[in-house]
Amino acid sequence: MQVQIKTFDELNTIELYHILRLRSQVFVVEQDCVYQDIDNKDQLAIHVIGYHDESIVAYTRIFKPGDYFKQSSIGRVVVDPEFRGKSYGKSIMRASMDYIHKKSWSTIIISAQCYLDKFYKELGFESTGEEYLEDGIPHQKMKIIL
């Protein structure tokens, strides 16, 4: 998987379309969760895009400290269902964490779906609070200091 990192203004319309389609496919359709994915925060985010050949197969968005949480954050972590089991999730997270580390934003906060607890802990994240519902799905805040 090749990774590209872009600001919102650097995305072309085809990339943006495929990113939004993938997010909708997983977060709305697969997880059967009706919520407003297009939230006017993409314009502030750094977009980390994983490609297999020319197809977008993995994605995250990063916020610098103060844009979402007090610390930097990673969200909308998604892998195309057809490409799961190839460690693309860990690869896209590591690329996101490396970007944040290079920016010297030492702390990352995420709002993680609880069923992915083991996945995030294997990347070094720790739970920081009680479980809560976000869009009807159990989540937990997690943190890592780089």
Give residue 88's pLDDT: 98
Q: Is 5 exposed, middle or buried (0-12, 13-18, 19+ CB in 10 A)?
A: middle
Q: What is the pTM of this model?
A: 0.96
Give residue 35's pLDDT: 87
Residue 79 above 90 pLDDT?
yes
Note the pLDDT tens digit of each residue in 62-75.
999 999 999 999 99
The answer to whether the Cα torsion of 28, 78, 17, 71 is positive or negative is positive
Domains of the chain: 2-145 (3.40.630.30)
Confidence class for position 129, pLDDT limits 50, 70, 90 = confident
What the block records as the tokens of 50 is: 């994983």
Give the count of beta carbons closer than 10 Å to the beta carbon of residue 37. 15
* DSSP label at residue 43: T
Note the pLDDT tens digit of each residue in 40-54.
999 999 999 999 999
**Average of per-residue pLDDT across 127-145:** 95
Give residue 74's pLDDT: 98
Confidence class for position 57, pLDDT limits 50, 70, 90 = very high
Give residue 51's pLDDT: 98
Note the pLDDT tens digit of each residue in 3-20.
999 999 999 999 999 999
What the block records as the tokens of 94 is: 């590591």
